[in-house]
Amino acid sequence: MEKKKDKFSDYALEHMALLDFEENKSIWALLPIGVFILLYVGCGVISGDFYMMPATLAFMIALFVGLQQNKNFTFDQKLYVAASGAGDMNIITMCLIYLLAGIFSALATEAGGVTSTVNFALSIVPVDMTVIGLFLMGCFISISMGTSCGTIAALGPIAVGIADKTGFALPLCVGAVVCGAMFGDNLSMISDTTIAAVRTQGCEMRDKFKANFKIVSPAAVVAAVIFYVTSAGGAAGDFGALDYNLVQVLPYMFIFIGALCGINVFLLLGIGAVLSIIAGTVTGVMDPANILTVTGKGISAMFEISMIALIAACISKLVRMNGGFKWILDFIQSNVGSKKGAQFGIGGLVVLMDLATANNTIAIVLAAPLAKRISEAYNISAKRCASLMDTYSSVVQGLLPYGAQLMIASALSGLTPFSIIPYLYYPVLMLICVVGYTVFFEKD
């Protein structure tokens, strides 16, 4: 104990975040995650109301549990380490996307863009195809944009509008968007998860894409069929007047086309917000005097999800410092015994890391060194290993109630994550496909 204290007495507080804690190992380091799940899920199950326990409060309680662990460090030292997690580039990027998404959504709604876009879509697309259309648009946009959160931010308000107009269940429409978003998050060549998996395993992007596509394409096809069958004949018969203004539709058309062209998500949402202001002003729908007020409301709507992302990152850093990640690594490594077992071990490793971090990119980066050692020891190709890591991380991230994707979908739709999960067919089908691929297909 004293030796550990002496080690840290030589460092200034600001250097704490740079230290390597990987020698620590303890299952008790995972306690904050267990506390969060117990509070957030448990209160919902017991009461039957998943709105009862605010996610932010559950995360705050879990964070303070983590700060009370490990008496080798002072409270200030642990707080600094936790804060370094919130300062991670991936987390800051995520929060900025949230805020931009809130701005775009608020301005587009105020400018009449959502109503016009929904009415325009319903006037040219058969009603029974609207839900599957949301899924397919999500697939195309996410694979082009490379970000599931950006895709959900763009299509979320449209899903809400379509559900309101057609009578389709709102969770079904939002679920279709989330499923489409996860398709591209897993496959896109500019997705951060894909880049992380490829770089850490040392394979070519195109090889990983081909291997990955074999796994997930059947899942995408079956999911599309399910969305069509589920929604066929379920729409309201009379939509009333389908009035729309193409000028108000332009911001969303720019988002769709810009995503397909690979424009950066920040630039995409920023320009989309400006175009919404112009469209609303030109058509006389938006009062220029209210632009800043509407923008502020859009930002405020994303405050809670941004705080959740920051607090979750703090908890993740504490779990790592206290030895939770090392325990997971050793547990997986000690239970690998064959080539198939090794592949399931790689998948299980990423799953546990994702559950602990609520971020699939970070999960891949943390799991990558051991995954590479396992793949080399059992003669698993680098492209197969990268595909397994990316696919398993997308499965978890697409179903995780406290993950970024479901949190932003909830913020935009007013639903709880648990009401959306039953309609997330694609991540479940992905899991079935990746397990089947491992069991029945030895060759890449």
* 262 or 295, greater pLDDT: 295
Quote the pLDDT of residue 135: 92
- Non-local (6+) Cβ contacts of 253 within 8 A are none
Q: What are the distances in angstroms from CA 192 to CA 144, 156, 172, 208, 269?
A: 13, 21, 27, 14, 18
Range of the domain at 123: 90-199+221-303
161 found inside a domain = yes
pLDDT at 235 over 70: no
284 found inside a domain = yes
Quote the pLDDT of residue 23: 59
Cα separation, 115 vs 137, whole angstroms: 18
**Ranges 47-51, 341-345, 394-398: which has the least confidence:** 47-51
- Show the beta-strand stretches assigned E in 31-173: none
Cα separation, 256 vs 166, whole angstroms: 22
11 found inside a domain = no
pLDDT at 170 over 90: yes
Cα separation, 391 vs 413, whole angstroms: 26
In the structure, what pLDDT confidence band is assigned to residue 232 with cuts at 50, 70 and 90?
confident
Is residue 77 within 8 A of residue 317, CB to CB? The reply is no
151 found inside a domain = yes
332 found inside a domain = no
Token pair recorded at residue 31: 């306690």
Mean pLDDT within 43-68 = 83
pLDDT at 352 over 70: yes
The mean predicted confidence, pLDDT, of the chain is: 83
Burial class (CB in 10 A: 0-12, 13-18, 19+), 128: middle
286 found inside a domain = yes
- pLDDT per residue over 188-216, tens digit each? 776 778 877 887 788 887 888 888 888 99
19 found inside a domain = no
In the structure, what pLDDT confidence band is assigned to residue 392 with cuts at 50, 70 and 90?
very high
In the structure, what pLDDT confidence band is assigned to residue 11 with cuts at 50, 70 and 90?
very low
321 closest CA partner among 163, 10, 145, 84: 84
pTM of structure: 0.74
193 found inside a domain = yes
**Domain total of the chain:** 1
Quote the pLDDT of residue 5: 45
